[in-house]
Structure 1
Amino acid sequence: MLNMPRYGRISRFAVIGGASTLIYGACALLLSRGGAGAAILPATLASAVAYAVAGLFSYAGHKYFTFVSAGAHAFELPRFLLLNATGLATAIALPVLLTEKLGMPVAVPVVLTCIAVPLVNYIVLGRWVFRNV
């Protein structure tokens, strides 16, 4: 039988993750291309700023909507940031290792990142970041 609370949590996780991704993409494009065609920020800096903005949304969304945590920000935010940094490092390391060092097609590390990072995030967010103690 399907565990409905867990299924609901997975759905909420997907909604917040999808919205975070859209926020990242929109911010990165807006900041790097600007409204009038002139770049507001260089692409790399625009991407980093957009990642931070999306990360703030993701933290709040997962804390209050996905995992409904009443934990203290002083406890949960540093853990969230560490997990987020790990995901970013994975998104950088896999292409370096698999594409640049081993010569695999770019799609391989991208697909692996798209599968591994959300899966690890869901587990770690629920068991370590937003666990209800």
Structure 2
Amino acid sequence: MSEDRSTAGTGLKLLARFGLVGIAATILYAALAIALVESEWIGFSPVQASLAAYAAAAVFSYFAHKSVTFMSSGSHRSEAARFVLLTATGFAVAYAAPALLTAKLGLPPIIAILVTCLLIPAVNLLMLDRWVFAQRRPGRQGDRST
């Protein structure tokens, strides 16, 4: 097999793992948010439930990306801090993009939503791969995307 096919194959595997972790984190978020809102004994408002569920899904996402997607051997101290910064940046973009694209540029909300849905995961994949989880376990260097 040529080196190009091997590189493409490892890139696709990385993308598949990234997508699966993202889907699992999204399902976890949704399930927790619903459970926290619907629970009579917890009594969270929808905003409180969403924030708590988002935080729990982010913790899951960090550990799943570290161990499954990127198989990083870096320290939690540096990687967790970078992950939090990236997550906060993504949250800011999810706020700013619709505000800019709809309020300032007058574009339809669907355009802002699509830009956000495409931009944040693409930037996250790149930043998680190249910055947050840049230190790979021995023998896993080939999984680094292009």
Give the counterpart of 1:92 among 76, 91, 95. Answer: 95
Counterpart in 2 of 1:83?
86
Counterpart in 2 of 1:14?
19
Counterpart in 2 of 1:121?
124
What is the Cα deviation at residue 122 of structure 1?
0.3
| Paired residue type of 1:4 | G
> Which whole-Å CA distance do the structure 1 matches of 2:36 and 2:112 have between them?
26
Q: Deviations over 1:33-62 (max 9, x none)?
A: x146x8721111111111101001100110
| Paired residue type of 2:14 | R
Structure 2 gap ranges (5+): 137-146
Counterpart in 1 of 2:113?
110
Determine whether 1:56 maps to 2:62.
no
Question: TM-score, length-normalised on structure 1?
Answer: 0.91
Q: What RMSD over aligned residues (CA atoms) do the two structures have, in Å?
A: 1.7
Report the structure number with the largest CA radius of gyration.
Answer: 2
Q: Deviations over 1:49-97 (max 9, x none)?
A: 1110100110011000000001100010000000000111111111212
When the two structures are aligned, how many residues end up with a matched partner? 131
SS in 1 for 2:108: coil
SS in 2 for 1:91: helix
Question: TM-score, length-normalised on structure 2?
Answer: 0.83
Mark the CA change 1:28 to 1:4 in structure 2 (over 3 Å): closer, same or farther.
same
Determine whether 1:29 maps to 2:28.
no
Q: Among all aligned residue pairs of Structure 1 and Structure 2, give the percentage whose two residues are the same amino acid.
A: 41
